[in-house]
């Protein structure tokens, strides 16, 4: 292999080393919100026999399919590393590196499938896409958020399946049997493994169809064309059947979950247009202050003009999709990348009543944006040295930004301080910061933090909790005033704060709690009647 041919693989090796170095400070970070209900029991019982851990923890309650593949890897961490969370996060980092290698392989295959890619070489630009993906700071909130290994593994197996599909299609002209076996492996092996890691892998067949329509275009012998068209016709029937089933059960499958949200179906759909634009901004302008993990301070869109950015976002997204369709023949990888981004958000950023914004939803989707940018750069910039200089400067900048963000995630103090600085109006983050003050009896500071939020049932419940901790009793009138607050839905923050107070008052009834008085029993009745919100499978 010549020195020029070796260069992309040397760059990939350097990118992998740089990724480990950039993420290393963050491995000492804490468990976060969804880590606790999903992993705390497993961590606390990590000394138990493996068979007992498998029996108790293999199936998660966070998704429709139980996510046993992801849970199996957590069980392995519990057996090998016990409660040392650094190693659990290091496992996440290793999965990130492995996924990066699949990004490299898939990018190279897609480049090779286009005439432009064949003319210019494929592995050097593929290595640039991979380095950008590996070192983009937006992915810190996926890799260092322990439970989001579910997202990582889902992306890993989806990418593995897409590699199987594209490589299998390319083999069909020479070795049709091997080609079909490889495609079958993508659907029969990788697809289920992705589904049992996280349900977002349901989009794998759609990605295959997108690749076929935009990049491969049903190329091959007449026999191969017929077979591939038959495959995608069957997939189309599946897409239409799934859509029809959701439409027929729209009330129970979609609308019912909105009863426990602070936004309506229409408000979510409108707001997601702005969220997608925010995601694009984070990917193209990766400043840490625009990230921050918690985004529940996002203003909900109540109409096309409320706020005005809703209409602007819809027009911008429409123009982006239109540009992809218009340039699908001239710049197929640009068109593919843009449409890949939107398909990747089809489940988590559309009609379903999940929380409005989470950065980890871009873990796979970002691949589309980066390969689209590559296609644009190859088309617009003709000087090879200019391309190389931009790539080097960009990757070095991303390495620094990722290292900086990983340092922020290295401890609860640095992480929550920065997050609160970036999102002071985030209710969830405010309650976390208030809890930090409350645990060391800084009740006035805790009240000041929560007092900055919009008054409602969640803040009312939390103020009762602080009264319970500070004064060791509750006032019956205060409880009555809080539970009668009008216009408040029983959302996630209400549930969380109700449980905090219920634990304090409930144990008091047994003589071991921190809050005593006749009002505790009255509150216990109220708390027991508070319904749980639907599970958020994001």
Give residue 52's pLDDT band: very low, low, confident or very high (50, 70, 90): very high
End-to-end CA distance of the chain: 45
3-state secondary structure of 511: coil
Question: Mind listing the pLDDT tens digit for each residue in 485-500?
Answer: 775 566 678 878 888 8
Residue 457, pLDDT score? 84
Question: Mind listing the pLDDT tens digit for each residue in 517-531?
Answer: 444 454 554 444 444
Among 286, 199, 273, 205, CA closest to 239: 205
| Lowest mean pLDDT, pick from 205-219, 263-277, 424-438, 519-533 | 519-533
- Ranked by mean pLDDT, the top range of 82-86, 118-122, 421-425 is 82-86
Among 153, 366, 343, 363, CA closest to 239: 343
- Crossing angle of helices 204-211/149-171, nearest 10°? 40
Among 321, 276, 318, 284, CA closest to 301: 276
Residue 469, pLDDT score? 85
Residue 303 φ/ψ, nearest 5 degrees:
-170, 175
Could you tell me if 257 and 490 are in contact, meaning their C-beta atoms sit under 8 angstroms apart?
Answer: no
- Ranked by mean pLDDT, the top range of 29-43, 217-231, 331-345 is 331-345
Give yes or no for residue 416 having a pLDDT over 90.
Answer: no
> Which token pair is 524?
């216990």
Question: Mind listing the pLDDT tens digit for each residue in 425-438?
Answer: 888 888 888 888 88
Residue 13's region, left for phi above 0, alpha for psi from -120 to 50, else beta, is: alpha
Residue 537, pLDDT score? 40
Cis before 307 (ω within 30): yes
Among 514, 430, 418, CA closest to 468: 514
- Crossing angle of helices 35-44/50-57, nearest 10°? 160
Residue 43, pLDDT score? 92
3-state secondary structure of 516: strand
Q: How far apart are CA 467 and CA 74, in angstroms?
A: 38
Residue 536, pLDDT score? 45
Residue 115, pLDDT score? 66
Could you tell me if 66 and 95 are in contact, meaning their C-beta atoms sit under 8 angstroms apart?
Answer: no
Residue 210 Cα to chain centre, angstroms = 21
Cα dihedral 33, 37, 39, 40 sign: positive
What is the arithmetic mean of pLDDT over 222-239?
A: 95
Residue 461, pLDDT score? 86
Give yes or no for residue 118 having a pLDDT over 50.
Answer: yes
What is the arithmetic mean of pLDDT over 219-225?
A: 91
Give residue 6's pLDDT band: very low, low, confident or very high (50, 70, 90): confident
Averaged confidence pLDDT in the chain: 88
Among 408, 413, 422, 292, CA closest to 357: 292
Residue 533, pLDDT score? 40
Among 415, 408, 445, CA closest to 429: 415
pLDDT higher at 475 or 284: 284
Give yes or no for residue 117 having a pLDDT over 70.
Answer: no
pLDDT higher at 140 or 534: 140
Give residue 510's pLDDT band: very low, low, confident or very high (50, 70, 90): very low
What residues have CB less than 8 Å from 330, skipping those under 6 apart?
none
Could you give the C-alpha distances from 91 to 24, 312, 420, 513, in angstroms and in order? 12, 41, 28, 39
Domain chopping of the chain, boundaries: 30-412, 424-528
Q: How far apart are CA 468 and CA 454, in angstroms?
A: 21
Which residue carries 């390969």 as its tokens? Answer: 371
Residue 516, pLDDT score? 53
């Amino acid at each position: 292999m010549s020195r020029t041919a070796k260069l992309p693989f040397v760059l990939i090796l350097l990118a992998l080393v740089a990724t480990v170095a950039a993420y290393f400070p963050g491995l000492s970070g804490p468990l976060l919100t969804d880590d606790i209900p999903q992993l705390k029991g497993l961590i606390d019982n990590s000394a138990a026999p493996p068979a007992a851990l498998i029996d108790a923890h293999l199936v998660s309650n966070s998704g429709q399919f139980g996510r046993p593949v992801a849970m199996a890897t957590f069980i392995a961490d519990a057996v090998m590393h016990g409660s040392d969370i650094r190693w659990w996060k290091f496992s996440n980092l290793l999965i990130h590196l492995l996924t990066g290698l699949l990004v490299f392989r898939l990018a190279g295959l897609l480049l090779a499938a286009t005439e432009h890619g064949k003319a210019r070489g494929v592995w050097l630009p593929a290595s640039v896409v991979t380095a950008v993906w590996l070192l983009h700071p937006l992915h810190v909130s996926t890799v260092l958020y322990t439970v989001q290994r579910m997202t990582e593994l889902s992306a890993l197996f989806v990418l593995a399946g897409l590699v199987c599909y594209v490589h299998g299609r390319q083999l069909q002209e020479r070795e049709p049997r091997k080609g079909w076996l490889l495609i079958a492996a993508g659907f029969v092996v990788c697809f289920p493994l992705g589904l049992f890691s996280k349900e977002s892998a349901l989009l794998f067949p759609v990605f295959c169809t997108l690749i076929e329509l935009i990049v491969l275009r049903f190329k091959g012998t007449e026999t191969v064309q017929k077979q591939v068209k038959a495959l995608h016709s069957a997939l189309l029937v599946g897409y239409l059947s799934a859509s029809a089933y959701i439409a027929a059960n729209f009330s129970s499958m979609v609308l019912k979950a909105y009863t426990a949200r602070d936004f309506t179906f229409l408000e979510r759909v409108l707001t997601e247009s702005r969220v997608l634009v925010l995601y694009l901004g984070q990917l193209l302008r990766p400043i840490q202050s625009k990230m921050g993990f918690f985004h529940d301070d996002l203003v909900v869109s109540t109409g096309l003009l409320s706020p005005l950015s809703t209409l602007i976002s819809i027009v911008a997204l429409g123009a982006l999709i239109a540009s992809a369709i218009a340039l699908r023949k001239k710049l197929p990888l640009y068109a593919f990348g843009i449409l890949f981004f939107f398909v990747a958000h089809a489940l988590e950023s559309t009609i379903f009543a999940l929380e409005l914004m989470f950065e980890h939803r871009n873990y796979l989707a970002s691949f589309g944006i980066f390969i689209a940018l590559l296609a644009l750069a190859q088309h617009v910039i003709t000087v090879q040295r200019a391309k190389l200089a931009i790539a080097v400067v960009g990757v070095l900048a991303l390495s620094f930004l990722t290292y900086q963000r990983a340092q922020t995630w290295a401890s609860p103090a640095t992480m929550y301080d920065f997050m609160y600085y970036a999102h002071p109006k985030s209710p969830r983050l405010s309650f976390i910061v208030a809890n930090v003050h409350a645990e060391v009896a800084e009740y006035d500071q805790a009240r000041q933090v929560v007092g900055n939020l919009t008054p409602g049932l969640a803040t009312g419940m939390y103020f009762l909790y602080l009264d319970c901790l500070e004064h060791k009793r509750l006032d019956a009138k205060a409880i009555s005033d809080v539970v009668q607050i009008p216009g408040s839905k029983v959302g996630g923050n209400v549930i969380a704060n109700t449980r905090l107070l219920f634990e304090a008052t409930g144990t008091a009834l047994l003589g071991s709690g921190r809050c005593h008085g006749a009002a505790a029993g009255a509150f216990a009745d109220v708390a027991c009647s508070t319904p749980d919100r639907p599970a958020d499978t994001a």
